[in-house]
Amino acid sequence: MTRQNRSTRRRFLQNTAVAGALGAPLLLPARVLGRDGATSPNEQIGMGAVGVGRQGSGVYAAACSKKGVRPVAVADASLPRAEKVGKHRGAEAYRDYRELLERKDIDAITTATPDHWRAIVTVHACQAGKDVYAEKPLTLTIAEGRRMVEAARKHGRIVQTGSQQRSMGANRFGCELVRNGRIGKIKQVLGANYPSPWTFTFDAQPVPEGLDWDLWCGPVAVQPYHVDFATPRRSPGWISHRLFSGGEVTGWGAHGIDQIQWALGKDDTGPTEIWTEGPEFDEPHFTEPHSRGKGESRTKQPIVYFRYADGITVKMDGSNPGGGTFIGEDGKIEIFRGRIGTNPAELKGEKIADDEIHLYQSSDHMQNWIDCIRTREEPIADVETGHRSATVCHLINIARWTGRRLKWDPKAERFVGDDEANQYLDIERRKGYELPQA
């Protein structure tokens, strides 16, 4: 790190009072706010990244591979990891992402933090005038999603959700077939039976050198460090922990539910009723590392149903995590990840006529975002779309947690006449890690 960068870091820590554990509110310096949205000189897009672990490093690599994109800086709670990725990309490395957001030579960021950090990072990035590619699932809670939309709109930012199946030709075509009535009126939709998260607490292991574990935990109560907790989809990994994620309901569900929303034309709304059938939700708590299957076998029950205002009912009892099965009066369409199945089979060979519904076309999800940064047009998986799809995932978990029929108002984004259910719209946050205003 150069002398100038060290000086900048000292000033930043003094201004935001974040030496050691981040105890001060997550505020951005006033000078970071109010950028005009223009790209860097020579039409290059200066690219940053927040969260460069297993998924984040790949997402950042994809962004930096695009023409006219220049890697600038990366941030991660594990400074050694940030330094490794930064060195490979020729980018500066930071532990605290707010230092990265201060840089005037960064126009956009990718962020693939664990779920509980995504909203805070995205809102702050929008405030700092950065466009954002945010991995799916977009949120940990429903309230976070609406705040992210508000921040993107207020600050004129291009925010792409990493729901890349929208940029797969087969998926788009399958959704177009449904939207254009190729199988007649939809009678029922089958979605995958995604398992909800559970809880676990393991004996503490030494925190790896260079990892700020308190910062990693962020707004959520600090848990004892353990490699089988801190690693996604390990034994079982934080994606299965209720405090940090919605489990595979939001993990894989962010893909499958998104395809259902797209095919049914529900990108700006959601269901109005949601309920469960079967055994009561039996949420385990484990004190030793365990296979994901041990928890998932218990958290797939009860089966969840939801219904839209037009009467279409979705039953979450299938086995296709990447999409859904659409059963109509005249046939069936199955949308998978990158392919479709139809009955009758000849539907696969049909063409969508010029006067029919054509969905947003993209063949490269990351390139679509880069193009929209330049044109300021809405991307294929805009933040509102990502929020709406994630909301349905959260509704599935809340239905299991409450165990009763719920009425949902997709416009107000609240449960109707159910104060207990509305308590699940957001989480309690540690002091200093509050969800920022847009």
Residues 369-394 pLDDT 10s: 999 999 999 999 999 999 999 999 99
Q: What is the pTM of this model?
A: 0.92
For residue range 229-279, list pLDDT tens digits in order: 999 999 999 999 999 999 999 999 999 999 999 999 999 999 999 999 999
Residues 6+ apart with CB under 8 A from 119: 139, 140, 141, 144, 145, 147, 148, 435
pLDDT average, residue stretch 181-188: 98
Q: What is 385-434 written as a DSSP string?
A: HHHHHHHHHHHHHHHHHH-S-EEEETTTTEETT-HHHHGGGS----TT-P
For residue range 269-309, list pLDDT tens digits in order: 999 999 999 999 999 999 999 999 999 999 999 999 999 99
* pLDDT for 358: 98
| Helix/strand/coil percentages in the chain, nearest 5 | 40, 20, 45
Q: 5 pLDDT exceeds 80?
A: no
Domain boundaries, the chain: 3-165, 169-355+383-425
d(CA 154, CA 147): 10
By the 8 A CB rule, do 47 and 107 touch? yes
At position 370, the amino acid (one-letter code) is I
For residue range 16-29, list pLDDT tens digits in order: 333 333 444 566 55
Q: What is 206-238 written as a DSSP string?
A: PPPTTB-HHHHHTTSPP----HHHHSTTSSS-G
pLDDT average, residue stretch 168-182: 98
- Asked if domains 3-165 and 169-355+383-425 share a fold, the reply is no
**Block residue for tokens 């005038």:** 129
* pLDDT for 76: 98
Beta-sheet pairing, 108-111 with 313-318:
unpaired
Q: What are phi and psi of 284, to 5 degrees?
A: -85, 165
In whole angstroms, what separates CA 396 from the centre of its chain? Answer: 16
* pLDDT for 4: 36
* pLDDT for 18: 36
Q: 14 pLDDT exceeds 60?
A: no
Q: Say which CATH architecture domain 169-355+383-425 belongs to.
A: 2-Layer Sandwich (3.30)
In whole angstroms, what separates CA 313 from the centre of its chain? Answer: 24
* pLDDT for 400: 98
pLDDT average, residue stretch 317-328: 96
Return the CATH number of the domain spanning residue range 3-165.
3.40.50.720
By the 10 Å C-beta count (0-12 exposed, 13-18 middle, 19+ buried), 8 is classed as middle
